[in-house]
Structure 1
Amino acid sequence: MTGGMYMSSLAAEARDGGASDEADHISGDTLVSGIPAVNAPVPPAAPKPPAGSDGGAKPKAAAKPARKGRSKAALAATAVLAVVGIAYAAGLLMDHADVPTGTTVLGVDIGGKTRDEALKALNAAVGDRGTAPITVHIGNQDKQLKPELAGLSINTEDSVNQVAHRDYNPISVIGSLFGGEHQVAPAINVDQEKLRSQLQTLSPNTGGSDGMVKFVDGKPVGVPGTPYQAVDADASVQKITAAYTQRAETGRNDPVDLAVTTHQPRVTQAQIDEAIRTIGDPAMSGKITVTAGTHSVLFSPQKSLSKILTIVPAPSNGKMTLHIDLAVLRQLYGNAFDGVLLERGIGTKTPVTPQDVASAMLPALAKTAPEKTAVIQNVAN
């Protein structure tokens, strides 16, 4: 049977409603656009991917979890920043004192206090840490170094001033909410010149010197220097300063070992000659009358100035400087200034001291004149 005849027969059966199940099966399964269909082989099942592989997953599908992970990290970071911001604001609102909460100086908690309260607490805690003598070992001897003479002191007022302000550091502000401490180093005053001068007085006496100018019967006389044993000034200043700071912070008063070395004279003959010409000759050029109000004392080159004056190298830089022996000066003027009071800068009135007399004399000693006058200022009425 031809294809056309077969299609006609099927069409007729369909019109008559008598098409058989077999005809329906053939029509649905074998006809495609009038051409008999060929049964295609069933493709084999795809092999299962090995364990641990991504199974050929598409890149786009794999990227979705990564985007989800980044979103979680961003949310977590935002939450952390919000918590930090709230804590920072809370710390600023809760801390209204002059000294931020948690501040310690010399082991003393002065946080949360006013400036005056903090200063009072710090002074009470320091006690004698700043004034007690420091024991030093020099060679085979133990000697005492007094801080007030060596220019050493704990400046409690500056220590408080350097912390008595609002602290906007987030670490300090947030830490204060949880009892955190902010330790601040104390303010230590060190007068290098005074400290070196005291070290020089503590050095062993070996008969040597740096060189100097002394005065004999109103005339300057040069004294060349000779080698001598003395402490190493540079190293000693550092060690004593460190020991003093440690004692201020901890209360420990450990002895300080100072090395002794041989020193050559610092002053040359040329420097001695220059000092005689520029310092010694003017100082011996005439008498000096020192006055304080209605009281006065006369000092002459031959009888008194020669006893109290020397020209020596300054401990700090070796520059030749006029030196006045205050103890001998006090003996010379005796009771001449008894009853004279001077107005001090702190609003008090106190008697004349040898330092007051020496300070008034120094400008006059620098002048060349047969008669000189030195006036002690600020005499109280």
Structure 2
Amino acid sequence: MRLRTASVPPLVLAGGVLTVGVGALYLTGMVLTSGEIESGTTVRGVDIGGLSRTEAVRRLDAHLAAAGPRELTVRVGDRTATVDPRSAGIGFDAARTVDRAARNGSDPVGVVRGLFRTGGGDEEPVVRVDEAKTRATLEKLAKTLDQGVREGAVGFTGARVRQVAPRPGYTLDVDAAVGTLRASFLRGATGEVTDLPARETRPKVTEDEVRRAVRDFARPAVSAPVTLTADGRRLTVAPADLGEHLTMRPDGAGRLVPELDVRGLRAAPSVARPLAAVTTTPENAVLGLDGDRVVVA
């Protein structure tokens, strides 16, 4: 009886040889490294190559504390402040840094690759964050960095027009800012200002609306005396008197509209005396425009 011998496909056989070859290289690499940090490995310029984990942690503990930034400059909107990383619970973790450096050098790809190179390269240090301390620091910081929205406005001081520029409001996002502080500490760039994440509130009365209100109403209103009509007779009101009782308030759409304090204007001595001579019956005044002139009728 004749037996047939099954042939091994060349591709499978080649794959088997390749697998054995990589396995042999991996075992050789593990024997040569003997559990130490790969030669040439550095962390922020500190050489830990060839050291045991215990020795590497000890060396990094002695150097990393001085390698981190002493303070972080942060910003929300147009306000800035500084943060002490130590008080905020942020610092380098030497033990976890060494663990990562050793792990990167002990995985199969890293071990085999290490047989053909001369150094382990530079490892980024691991940043430790005590979230309770960091959040407490940020919540305290928010009291000085948060700012309410400021609406654009137009007002009067006598015959002078006052403009208030609008400004967005910002509320620090404490949850998101924890990660931002960590990243800023890791970068450690001296003089760098880090923008912390914040929720922005836009003003309803825009800068364009302020300019329009000043151009179309406020300046014409106090540019010259206005005419008050009562019982068919006329008297003039000085711009300074009108300005004292005139305001502009935003409507629901963010548009500034004029508002006149009629009672206050009527009670002003410069208006009440001549008005008493021409009428004895109180009448409501109406503010309006006559061409490019403002009139009170």
TM-score, scaled relative to structure 2: 0.46
* Higher RCO (CA-CA < 8 Å; seq separation 6+): 2
Per the normalisation by structure 1, the TM-score is: 0.37
Larger Rg over CA atoms = 1
